[in-house]
Amino acid sequence: MKVSEVLRLKTVSQDGEVTIEGTFVMEHGIGYFVQSKEDMGEKSRAIMVNYPELERLLLSSVPAYAGSKYSYCNDAVITGVIKVSPQAVFPFAIGDIHNFSVRIYEESLMVLG
């Protein structure tokens, strides 16, 4: 499912898993998915990744960018349950995550799975 398809949902179903493909961004320790790199700063068009210690987990398995407010901005795939976001700036969040991979230089690196 694309980020734009999730954002078109009117309600959140607590019982269904989804797999989202998009651009994963991490900014100041907060991770989220957007449709494409052009949407990086548009949190109102993003899905927050709600996972404890996400940044620590990423840093232990995926090289981060340096010298930018964004630690990550990569194509990625995640599977979990869409929920109401705990932060008002994001319309939705994805939680109960069991698969998450980030693509760097044509290689998929498993973060969770």
Cβ contact 34:40 at 8 Å:
yes
Question: Is pLDDT at 95 greater than 90 in this prediction?
Answer: yes
79 vs 113, higher pLDDT: 79
Residue whose pair of structure tokens reads 């407010």 in the numeric block: 69
pTM of the model: 0.93
Q: List the domains of the chain with CATH numbers.
A: 3-106 (2.40.50)
Distance, in Å, from the CA atom of 73 to the CA atom of 18, rounded to the nearest integer, reads 21
Question: Is pLDDT at 47 greater than 90 in this prediction?
Answer: yes
pLDDT in tens, 67-83: 789 999 999 999 999 99
Residue 68: the pLDDT is 85
Instruction: Give the mean model confidence (pLDDT) for residues 81-107.
Output: 94
Residue 16: the pLDDT is 78
Residue 11 CB: number of other CB atoms within 10 A? 7
Residues 6+ apart with CB under 8 A from 38: none
